[in-house]
C-alpha cells in the first residue's frame, strides 16, 4: 500500500509542477494576446509565489491538527477552481488573480506531502522515496512540456489550463479511497533522529532557528530560485537564445526531465545506502548535497563562458539535471532533522520564506534582460551568475552548520516538560 500512496504523491507532484510550468510554456501566446512586456510577465510569475508564501504557512500549519489526506484533497480541488478560471482572463490583472489563487493552494503541497510521506516510510527509506515523490516535479516541469506545448498550440492556453484543472479534480476523487496511514506503525532504527520525537507547538521557533535547519532553509531558497527561473524563463532562453522551435524546445525539456528524474532517484538510492551504512547525516545526505551544489555551480557558470549557444544549452541542461537533486535531498533531510509533529508547520514557514525567491527571482531576471536591451543573452547570463553565487554560498553555509543539527537527545527537556504539563492536567481539580 505504501508504494501506491507514493505513486499518488508522485502524481500530485507531477500535476503541481505541470500547473507551474504551463505559464512559462504559454509565455509567448499569453504575452501577445494580453500585450505584456517582459517585466510585466515576470510580475505574473512573482505574484504566484507571493501567494505561494502565504499558502505554505497557512496550509502547512494545518498539518499539526488535521489529517493530511483530506488536506491534500482540498488543495487539489483548489487547483481545479483556479485553473478553470483561465476562460475569464482578459487582462494582466485577471491573469495575476488566477495565479494568486493557484499559488495559495499550491503553497502547502510540499509540506503536506512530506508529512504524509513520513507516515509511510522509515528514515532509512526516505531518500529514494523522497526522490521518487519529488521527481514528479521534474516530470511536471520537463516531460509534460511536449504535451503542454502541443495543447497550447492546437487548442489554446485557456483550454490547456482547464484540462489540468480537471486532472487535479480526478486525482482528489481517487485519493479519497486511499488509507490514511499504515496498519502497522513504522519502526525506526536510528534513535537519535529528532524526527523520532514530538515536541509542543510552542517550541517551533526554537526548532526553526536551529543553525542546521536554517541552512536547509537556504537550500530550499536556492532550489526555489532556480525552479522559478526554469518555469518562467528557460523556455524563452531555449527559443530566443539557442534558437529552438517550440516543438523541439519541448523535446529538449523532456530529455532533461528524463535524465534529471533518473539521476535524482539514483542519488536518493545512494544516500539511503550511505545512511544505512554510516547512520550519519553528515556522512550521507550532507556530503552528497554539498557535492551537488558545487557541481551545479560549475555547470551554470560554464553557460556564461562558452560562446556557442549550443554549448550554453548543454551546460544549462547539466545544471538543471543536477538541480533536480536539491528538492529530494532537502525534503528527506527535513523529515529527519525536525520533530515529526512539527514537520508540516516548519516546512510551511520555511517554504513561505523560500518562495520569496519565486517572488523576486523571475522579476530580477526579467529586469536584467530588459536592461540588456538588444543583447538578450547578456541579460540571461547575469541571471545565471546570480544562481552560481547562490549555489556557492549555500555550500559554505552547510559546511559551517552541519554539526549543529537537532538530535532527539537535545529534545529530552522538551519531552519532560510536556510530560509534566500532562501530569498537571491529570491532577487538576475536576479531572
With CA atoms as reference, report the closest residue to 220 among 111, 140, 309. Answer: 111
pLDDT value for 195 = 60
Separation CA 72–CA 78 (nearest Å): 10
pLDDT value for 192 = 55
Asked whether the beta carbons of 210 and 405 are under 8 A apart, the reply is yes
Q: What Cα–Cα distance (Å) separates residue 145 from each residue in 23, 67, 138, 311, 355?
A: 11, 33, 10, 22, 23
**Three-class secondary structure of residue 46 per DSSP:** helix
DSSP 340: G
Asked whether the beta carbons of 276 and 124 are under 8 A apart, the reply is yes
pLDDT value for 193 = 61
DSSP 326: H
Asked whether the beta carbons of 311 and 320 are under 8 A apart, the reply is no
DSSP conformation letters of 144-190:
THHHHHHHHHHH-HHHHHHHHHHHHHHHHHHHTTS-SS-SS----S-
Asked whether the beta carbons of 59 and 348 are under 8 A apart, the reply is yes
pLDDT value for 169 = 94
Separation CA 315–CA 407 (nearest Å): 39
Residue-by-residue pLDDT tens, the chain, 431 positions: 888 999 999 999 889 888 877 887 788 888 888 888 777 887 887 788 788 888 888 888 887 778 889 999 999 999 999 998 888 888 888 888 988 999 899 888 888 888 888 888 877 777 888 888 888 877 776 677 778 888 888 888 889 988 999 999 999 999 998 887 777 776 666 555 656 667 777 777 888 888 888 888 888 888 888 877 876 777 777 777 777 777 777 777 777 777 878 888 888 888 888 888 877 777 888 889 999 999 999 998 998 888 777 787 788 888 888 888 888 888 888 878 887 777 777 777 777 777 778 778 877 888 888 888 878 778 888 888 888 999 999 999 888 887 777 665 544 444 444 544 443 444 444 44
Cβ contacts of 184 within 8 Å, gap of 6 or more: none
- Residue 180, CB half-sphere, CA atoms under 13 Å: how many? 5
Give the angle 243-245-249 at the CA atoms, nearest 5°. 90
Domains detected in the chain: 2-179+190-427 (1.20.1250.20)
Residue with cell 531555449: 238
pLDDT value for 430 = 44
Amino acid at each position: 500500500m505504501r508504494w501506491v500512496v507514493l505513486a499518488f504523491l508522485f502524481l500530485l507532484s507531477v500535476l503541481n509542477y505541470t500547473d507551474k510550468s504551463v505559464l512559462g510554456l504559454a509565455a509567448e501566446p499569453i504575452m501577445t494576446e494580453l500585450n505584456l512586456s517582459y517585466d510585466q510577465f515576470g510580475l505574473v510569475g512573482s505574484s504566484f509565489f507571493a501567494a505561494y508564501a502565504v499558502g505554505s504557512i497557512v496550509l502547512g500549519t494545518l498539518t499539526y491538527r488535521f489529517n493530511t489526506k483530506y488536506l491534500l484533497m482540498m488543495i487539489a480541488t483548489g487547483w481545479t477552481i483556479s485553473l478553470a478560471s483561465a476562460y475569464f482572463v482578459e487582462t494582466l490583472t485577471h491573469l495575476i488573480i488566477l495565479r494568486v489563487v493557484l499559488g495559495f493552494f499550491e503553497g502547502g503541497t510540499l509540506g503536506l506531502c512530506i508529512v504524509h510521506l513520513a507516515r509511510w516510510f522509515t528514515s532509512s527509506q526516505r531518500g529514494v522515496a523522497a526522490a521518487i515523490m519529488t521527481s514528479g516535479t521534474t516530470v511536471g516541469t520537463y516531460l509534460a512540456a511536449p504535451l503542454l506545448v502541443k495543447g497550447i498550440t492546437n487548442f489554446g492556453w485557456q483550454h490547456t489550463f482547464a484540462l489540468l484543472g480537471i486532472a487535479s479534480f480526478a486525482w482528489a476523487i481517487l485519493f479519497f479511497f486511499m488509507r490514511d496511514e499504515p496498519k502497522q506503525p513504522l519502526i525506526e532504527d536510528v534513535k537519535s533522529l529528532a524526527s523520532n520525537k514530538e515536541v509542543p507547538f510552542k517550541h517551533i521557533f526554537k526548532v526553526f532557528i536551529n543553525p542546521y535547519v536554517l541552512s536547509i532553509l537556504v537550500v530550499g531558497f536556492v532550489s526555489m530560485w532556480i525552479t522559478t527561473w526554469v518555469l518562467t524563463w528557460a523556455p524563452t532562453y531555449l527559443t530566443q537564445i539557442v534558437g529552438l522551435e517550440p516543438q523541439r524546445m519541448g523535446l529538449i525539456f523532456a530529455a532533461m526531465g528524463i535524465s534529471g528524474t533518473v539521476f535524482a532517484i539514483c542519488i536518493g538510492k545512494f544516500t539511503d545506502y550511505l545512511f544505512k551504512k554510516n547512520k550519519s547525516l553528515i556522512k550521507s545526505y550532507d556530503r552528497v548535497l554539498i557535492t551537488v551544489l558545487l557541481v551545479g555551480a560549475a555547470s551554470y557558470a560554464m553557460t556564461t563562458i562558452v560562446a556557442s549557444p549550443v554549448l550554453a544549452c548543454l551546460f544549462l541542461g547539466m545544471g538543471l539535471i543536477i538541480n533536480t537533486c536539491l528538492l529530494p535531498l532537502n525534503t528527506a533531510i527535513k523529515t529527519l532533522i525536525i520533530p515529526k509533529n512539527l514537520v508540516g508547520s516548519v516546512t510551511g514557514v520555511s517554504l513561505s520564506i523560500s518562495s520569496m525567491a519565486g517572488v523576486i527571482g523571475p522579476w530580477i531576471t526579467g529586469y536584467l534582460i530588459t536592461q540588456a536591451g538588444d543583447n538578450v543573452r547578456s541579460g540571461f547570463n547575469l541571471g545565471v551568475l546570480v544562481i552560481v553565487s547562490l549555489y556557492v554560498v549555500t555550500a559554505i553555509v552547510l559546511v559551517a552548520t552541519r554539526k549543529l543539527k537537532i538530535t532527539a537527545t537535545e529534545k529530552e527537556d522538551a519531552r519532560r516538560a510536556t510530560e509534566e504539563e500532562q501530569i498537571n492536567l491529570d491532577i487538576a481539580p475536576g479531572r
